[in-house]
């Protein structure tokens, strides 16, 4: 092992500075993921493209991002923290500039793909930095601050995007993001220190191929499930090829000395269980991000801006509660928070399944606020508990796996819920209502009832969490 650390321990001021840099980078990159849904109609009109072509703005970004995340486990062990973060945010900034100045649709997609390369490195890396900088008894507070960025960014994305599109040209979305990305690079250059250790592993190219085909195939297949027949090349074949490649990756990883991803991380019960629960919750969160605007705009007739404002109070709840939840985790552990949070998520999600055209907007805002409170009490505590359950030497693998499941959960959840909504809306019972509005409402209700069932299953699973994580390797953080 080659140490990245030096003899002088980090001062509190340095830790706060580094955490601030990481939070800004996390917020900007995750916010960028959720901006296209509201802006897509304007982009389609300007470039005269079909919805399927427009979907590639999201699909291409997600594919590159999903491919980069697993490889980050290798990159973290090969390059210093500072080198990797500066590279990632610089690449993200370049991609943002390309997207902002694009005059051709293919160039816009290229810009999004360049962004995804940087974002795919930043997300796992920020978790690893936190794990190395903070002892196990203080990680909750730190992860709560990270959670502010990770959970608030996707929640505020549609509101911000709606405001921009309503008042400016769509490319202003990227121009608003670009200064913050560049500022983060500049500040990181001066304050970011190296943490952890370098093992300089050898890159196994066969594993890279398996990982790219595996995760890329799964993400591509599920992202196309809402717009293509399931038994088609773009869906079923892509998922089958992806699953086969993942199996080959696991077998390969178990045979070689320096695997691209060490799947032995799943042998730790606490990590495995918390990841499974988080998968279900994340799928519900991202599914709602897509479906709630559809309900407010298509069924209730609100404008994109009005729809975003209705969702804004819930987003503020997530932002305010994330740091608080982190401190509560350090004091009470993750299990109690997860139980309370999932009770709120399950109850409010099932209530959403019974809303109708007479339900007041005020009632919907209150439901969404309590649902958001449930997410803020659940997501980051589960993630922190998962990381606390594995040795610190496996932090790169644990972080890469967890962020990969976030990508898959978002993709699978969105695909499943859009398909269910479409099937329910087109059912004979829905058609008998003789109203497109009521048929769409039936589809919306069916989805949230299904999500409520999944949330209840996740709630049951939380009772099997044990509050006795192993103590990770004793590594003291120093500066370089």
Distances, alpha carbon 52 to alpha carbons 58, 226, 275, in Å? 11, 11, 32
**Neighbouring C-beta atoms of residue 103, cutoff 10 Å:** 9
Q: Which of 390, 376, 176 is nearest to 267 (CA)?
A: 390
Residues 6 or more apart whose CB falls under 8 angstroms from that of 115 comprise 29, 32, 61, 91, 92, 95, 96, 99
Distances, alpha carbon 231 to alpha carbons 51, 313, 427, 431, in Å? 20, 40, 20, 25
Confidence of residue 89 (pLDDT cuts 50, 70, 90): very high
Q: State the pLDDT at residue 101.
A: 94
Residue with token string 């816009």: 108
Q: State the pLDDT at residue 288.
A: 72
Q: Is the pLDDT of residue 114 over 90?
A: yes
Q: State the pLDDT at residue 474.
A: 42
Distances, alpha carbon 357 to alpha carbons 133, 198, 332, 354, 449, in Å? 50, 58, 41, 10, 17
Token duo for residue 199: 């093992």
Q: Is the pLDDT of residue 313 over 80?
A: yes
Token duo for residue 398: 């644990």
Helix (H) or strand (E) holding 355, with range, is none
| Four-residue CA torsion sign, 338, 339, 342, 343 | negative
Token duo for residue 354: 């019974």
Q: State the pLDDT at residue 479.
A: 38
Task: For residues 392 and 400, give the distance between their C-alpha atoms in angstroms, rounded to a whole number.
Answer: 13
Q: What digits encode the pLDDT tens for the residues 388-432?
A: 888 888 888 888 888 888 878 877 887 788 788 888 877 766 667
158 vs 383 pLDDT, higher one: 383
Transcribe 18-29 into DSSP letters: HHHHHHHHHHHH
Transcribe 373-437 into DSSP letters: HHHHHHHHHHHHHHHHTS-GGGHHHHHHHHHHHHHHHHHHHHHHHHHHHHHHHTSHHHHTT--HH
The region of weakest confidence among 271-275, 301-305, 396-400, 471-475 is 471-475
Q: What digits encode the pLDDT tens for the residues 41-50?
A: 788 888 888 7
Confidence of residue 9 (pLDDT cuts 50, 70, 90): low
47 vs 198 pLDDT, higher one: 47
Strands 2-3 and 197-198: antiparallel
What are the residues facing 478 on neighbouring strands?
A: 9
């Amino acid at each position: 092992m080659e140490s990245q650390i030096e003899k002088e321990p980090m001062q509190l001021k340095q830790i706060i500075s580094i955490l601030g840099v990481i939070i800004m980078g996390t917020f900007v990159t995750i916010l960028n993921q959720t901006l296209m849904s509201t802006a897509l109609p304007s982009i389609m009109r300007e470039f005269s493209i079909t919805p399927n072509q427009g979907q590639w703005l999201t699909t291409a970004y997600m594919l590159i991002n999903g491919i980069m995340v697993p490889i980050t486990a290798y990159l973290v062990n090969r390059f210093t923290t500072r080198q990797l973060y500066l590279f990632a945010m610089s690449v993200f900034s370049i991609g943002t500039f390309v997207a902002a100045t694009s005059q051709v649709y293919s160039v816009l997609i290229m810009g999004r793909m360049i962004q995804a390369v940087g974002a795919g490195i930043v997300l796992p890396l920020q978790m690893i930095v936190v794990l190395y900088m903070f002892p196990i008894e203080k990680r909750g507070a730190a992860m709560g601050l990270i959670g502010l960025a990770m959970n608030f960014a996707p929640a505020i994305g549609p509101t911000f995007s709606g405001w921009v599109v309503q008042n400016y040209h769509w490319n202003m979305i990227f121009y608003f993001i670009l200064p913050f990305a560049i500022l983060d690079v500049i500040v990181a250059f001066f304050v970011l220190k190296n943490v952890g250790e370098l093992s300089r592993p050898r890159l196994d190219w066969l594993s890279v191929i398996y990982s790219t085909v595996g995760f890329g195939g799964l993400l591509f297949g599920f992202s196309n499930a809402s717009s293509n027949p399931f038994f088609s090349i773009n869906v079923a074949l892509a998922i089958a090829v992806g699953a086969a490649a993942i199996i080959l990756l696991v077998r390969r990883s178990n045979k070689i000395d320096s695997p691209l991803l060490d799947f032995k991380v799943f042998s730790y019960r606490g990590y495995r269980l918390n990841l499974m629960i988080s998968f279900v919750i994340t799928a519900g969160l991202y599914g709602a991000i897509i479906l709630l605007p559809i309900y407010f705009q298509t069924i209730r007739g609100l404008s994109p801006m009005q729809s975003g404002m209705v969702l804004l109070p819930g987003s503020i709840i997530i932002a305010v509660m994330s740091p608080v939840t982190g401190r509560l985790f350090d004091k009470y552990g993750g299990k109690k928070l997860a139980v309370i949070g999932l009770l709120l998520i399950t109850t409010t999600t099932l209530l959403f399944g019974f809303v109708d055209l007479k339900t007041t907007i005020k009632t919907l805002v209150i439901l969404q606020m309590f649902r958001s409170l449930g997410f803020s009490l659940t997501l980051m505590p589960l993630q922190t508990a998962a990381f606390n359950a594995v040795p610190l030497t496996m932090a790169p693998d644990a972080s890469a796996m967890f962020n990969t499941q976030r990508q898959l959960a978002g993709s699978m959840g969105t695909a499943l819920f859009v398909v269910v909504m479409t099937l329910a809306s087109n059912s004979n019972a829905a058609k008998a209502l003789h109203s497109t509005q009521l048929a769409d409402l039936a589809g919306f209700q069916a989805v949230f009832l299904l999500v409520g069932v999944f949330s209840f299953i996740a709630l049951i699973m939380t009772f099997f969490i044990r509050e006795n994580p192993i103590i990770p390797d004793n590594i003291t953080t120093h500066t370089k």
